[in-house]
């Protein structure tokens, strides 16, 4: 597809079953990640809904952006994707840094959005994100990633991520996900990203009574230590509590990459917002290990 200012964005669509009703599902990736990281989840959701994955400018197969990659600019990419594929309604699903992006778009297009599923999202309620220590750590990481991309050793450090993907997505990510261009895009967006997210502390996107599900990882890892995990999950719980239809789910067996380690859990949460509830009986009521915390703070069995 082509944006209104002439950039080419790459998208892939699964049409869903013939006669499928209900919202289409659009997936938004994290900071420097292409569509490929959704490869385990898109086919699952595609069994009942139309699904769309895409690459933001400068990532995957999409052309780079000559303008700065601010949060507003990245949200503009997603807005153009929604406009290209129709009036909706849509359920927006985001991982990590994609969370603030879909929240911005949902607030701007509330009449077209049926719900949000945020998978271990960046949250402005986590104070540690805005400390000088965190920003120094981020600068060191960016420097390392750019050097590793130029020397073509970056895939080595993401062996477990690549191994979790289906073969076709693994090939695409190995070819597209670790390039110097992708790291330039990452560095560009990080120049303003945390400042843009910090602005949400005073002026968060207004989502009204939109259903919002936040899935938190239950384990430290993938660059998020125990202390950061604890504070991030607490921020997620507070964010879910602010929605009249908020839902906080703990993926007990996962670190940050919940979409790779527990794709069925993520797909089940998407199903809740895209299909009518179906009563379950007996063994069918069993679920993977997960703790659910509703917006009033009461823990409940997933059944």
Q: Where are the domains of the chain?
A: 10-274
Closest-CA residue to 252 (of 282, 229, 284, 285): 229
Is the backbone peptide bond immediately before 101 cis, with ω within 30 degrees of 0?
Answer: no
The predicted structure's pLDDT at residue 49: 97
Give residue 278's pLDDT.
52
- Do residues 256 and 215 touch, judged by C-beta distance below 8 A? no
Question: Is the pLDDT at 6 greater than 70, yes or no?
Answer: yes
> What pLDDT does residue 288 have?
36
Q: Give the CATH superfamily of 10-274.
A: Alpha/Beta hydrolase fold, catalytic domain (3.40.50.1820)
107 CB contacts (<8 Å, ≥6 apart)? 205, 206, 207
Given a contact cutoff of 8 angstroms between Cβ atoms, the answer to whether 178 and 184 are in contact is no
Check pLDDT > 70 for residue 155: yes
Which tokens in the block code for residue 186? Answer: 């990452």
For residue 303, pLDDT beyond 90:
no
How many contiguous H segments (helices) and E segments (strands) does the chain have?
10, 9
pLDDT for 291 beyond 70? no
For residue 295, pLDDT over 90 is answered with no
List, for residues 10-31, the tens digit of each pLDDT value: 999 999 999 888 999 999 999 9
**SS3 at position 204:** coil
Instruction: List phi, psi (to 5°) of 292.
Output: -110, 130
Confidence (pLDDT) at 276: 63
Let me know: does 253 contact 261? Beta carbons within 8 Å.
yes
What pLDDT does residue 277 have? 58
Closest CA to 30 of 227, 260, 237: 260
The proportion of the chain whose per-residue pLDDT surpasses 70, expressed as a percent, equals 91
Closest C-alpha among 188, 244, 256 to residue 217: 256
Q: How confident is the model at residue 247, as a pLDDT? A: 96
Strand bridging mode 24-28 / 51-54: parallel
* 145 has pLDDT over 80: yes
Residue closest to 217 by CA, chosen among 206, 232, 204: 232
**Is the per-residue pLDDT at 285 higher than 70?**
no
5: pLDDT strictly greater than 80:
yes
Average pLDDT over residues 35-64: 97
E-strand stretches of 148-289: 212-217, 246-251
* Distances in whole angstroms, Cα of residue 176 to Cα of each of 58, 63, 92, 261: 10, 12, 24, 22
User: What is the C-alpha to C-alpha distance for residues 82 and 90, in angstroms, rounded to an integer?
Assistant: 8
pLDDT at 280: 44
Q: What is the pLDDT of residue 27?
A: 99
Looking up tokens 């290209």, which residue turns up? 84
> Tens of pLDDT along 215-260?
999 999 888 999 999 999 999 999 999 999 999 999 999 999 999 9
3-state secondary structure (DSSP) of residue 116 = strand
Q: Is the pLDDT of residue 286 over 70?
A: no
């Amino acid at each position: 597809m082509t944006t209104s200012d002439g950039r080419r964005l790459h998208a892939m669509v699964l049409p869903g079953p013939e006669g499928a009703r209900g919202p289409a599902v659009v997936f938004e990736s994290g900071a420097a990640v292409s569509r490929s990281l959704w490869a385990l989840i898109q086919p699952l959701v595609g069994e009942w809904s139309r699904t769309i994955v895409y690459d933001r400018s400068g990532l995957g197969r999409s052309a780079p952006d000559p303008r700065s990659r601010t949060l507003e600019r990245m949200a503009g990419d997603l807005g153009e994707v929604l406009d290209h594929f129709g009036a909706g309604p849509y359920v927006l699903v985001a991982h990590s840094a994609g969370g603030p992006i879909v929240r911005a778009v949902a607030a701007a297009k509330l009449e077209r959005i049926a719900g949000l599923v945020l998978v271990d999202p960046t949250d402005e309620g986590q104070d540690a994100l805005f400390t000088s220590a965190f920003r120094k750590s981020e600068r060191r990481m960016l420097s390392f990633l750019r050097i590793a991309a130029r020397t073509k050793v970056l895939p080595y450090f993401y062996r477990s991520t690549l191994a979790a993907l289906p073969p076709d997505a693994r090939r695409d990510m190995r070819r597209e996900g670790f390039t110097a261009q992708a790291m330039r895009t990452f560095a560009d967006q990080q120049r303003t990203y945390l400042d843009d997210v910090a602005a949400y502390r005073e002026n968060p996107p207004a989502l009204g009574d939109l259903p919002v599900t936040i899935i938190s990882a239950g384990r430290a890892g993938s660059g998020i230590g125990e202390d950061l995990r604890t504070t991030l999950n607490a921020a997620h719980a507070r964010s879910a509590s602010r929605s009249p239809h908020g839902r906080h789910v703990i993926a007990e067996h996962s670190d940050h990459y919940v979409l790779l380690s527990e794709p069925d859990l993520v797909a089940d949460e998407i199903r809740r917002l895209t299909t009518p509830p179906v009563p379950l009986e007996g063994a069918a009521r069993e679920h993977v290990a997960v703790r659910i915390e509703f917006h009033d703070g009461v823990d409940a069995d997933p059944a």
